Each structure stands twice: as C-alpha cells, then as structure tokens.
Amino acid sequence: MTLQGKYGELAGVAKQSFFSGKWLNLSNFLTALRAVLALPIILLLLYPLENIPYDISCQTLAGLIFIFAALTDKLDGYLARKNDQVTRLGQFLDPLADKVLMIPVMITLWSLNLLQWWVVLIVCSREIMVSIFRVIGVRKGVSFPASWSGKAKMFSQIVAVSALILFPSSSSEFIIEFLIYAMTAITVFSGIDYLFRAKREIFQ
C-alpha cells in the first residue's frame, strides 16, 4: 500500500469514529475538561477578582479548581475501564490533557515568582520529550501509555503546585521547597525511565 493510501485509510477510520460518536463519552469529556480548566486557574492567579461569594480568596478558588481538575485524571481513567471505553485515542489524549493543565499553570507560578525557572524548564523538557515519543509510537502503531513513574510524577506535581497556589506566602519555607525539589527529582527520574522505555518499545 502506498503512503497516500495508508493515510487515506487512517483518515477514513478517524472520520468513521468521529461521526459514529464512539469518542463522545463521559471519560473523554472529563479529559477535555481538565485541559479547559487551566484557563480559569491562570486568570484567577494573574487577575484576582473582588467580591467573590463566601469571602473566598482568588488563590483559594484557583487552588480548589486545580485540585478538582487534577482529580479528573483518576476519574476519567476509572470510568474508561469501568465502561470498557479504553482506547488508544484516550491513552494519547489523557497525558496530553495533563500537560495542558500543568505546564501553563507552572509558567504562571514562575511569572509570579513562586516557582524557579529551572524547575519549569526541566518539567517542560521532560514533557516535550515524552510527547515526541508518543507521537512516534502512534505513527508506528505502538501504544505508549503512562507508566508508574509517569503517575508518580503527576502526583508529585499535583501536590507541589497545589501547595504553591494555596500557600503562596510560604513558597520559601522548608516543606514547600522540599515538595518542589522532590517533584523535580521524580520528574527527572520519570524522563529517564521513559527514555529507556522508548528505546525498548519504540526504537528497538
């Protein structure tokens, strides 16, 4: 089969899946919601509002939205397995939504002098590298879902970012610094783990 014919067949399958509505499920909705919620979090951090009901501060509201968005990562996976809706598309979009949520929020925290630039650089470098591996894997027909190290990385980032948002005045205290350094170390380890996985599963 020619390259043009191969891509034509893939486009036909994608078109059929789109119009059949198989991708329209609660799991994928939660995945998309996780990415969309990055915007209100960033706006609340950069442009604090006044007269929020129940006297909730913008930092607290942003932190609660972030925690809710992060929890959808577990919920969408649970629903996909429970309803037998686990697909390669979902395995690809789920970590992508994590990146769309996490990286812009981290960059915002850096702009507010709550997070060091080199931490953001390490996180972005790791995410770009893993995203490239996943794209190559998709082109080769190889599934490259999140591993235990990727899940540990995500959990450490959720904890560290939540602490920075909810307790911005404590960003220089020992516990906050420990969470940031631990998150960075786990992110580096996860990147190395994915590098060896890609070599073994994709570039063999």
- Domain boundaries, given as residue ranges, for the chain: 20-201
| 17-34 pLDDT, tens digit each | 444 455 567 777 888 888
pLDDT value of residue 96 = 83
| 186-204 pLDDT, tens digit each | 999 999 999 998 888 888 7
What's the pLDDT band for 7 if we cut at 50, 70, 90?
Answer: very low
| pLDDT-wise least confident of 11-15, 25-29, 161-165, 190-194 | 11-15
Q: Specify burial of residue 38 (Cβ count, 10 A radius: 0-12, 13-18, 19+).
A: buried
What are the tokens at 65? 């939205």
Instruction: Domain 20-201: give its CATH architecture.
Output: Up-down Bundle (1.20)
How far is it, in rounded angstroms, from Cα 16 to Cα 77?
24
pTM exceeds 0.85, yes or no: no
How far is it, in rounded angstroms, from Cα 40 to Cα 77?
24
From 55, 60, 67, select the one nearest 45 (Cα to Cα): 60
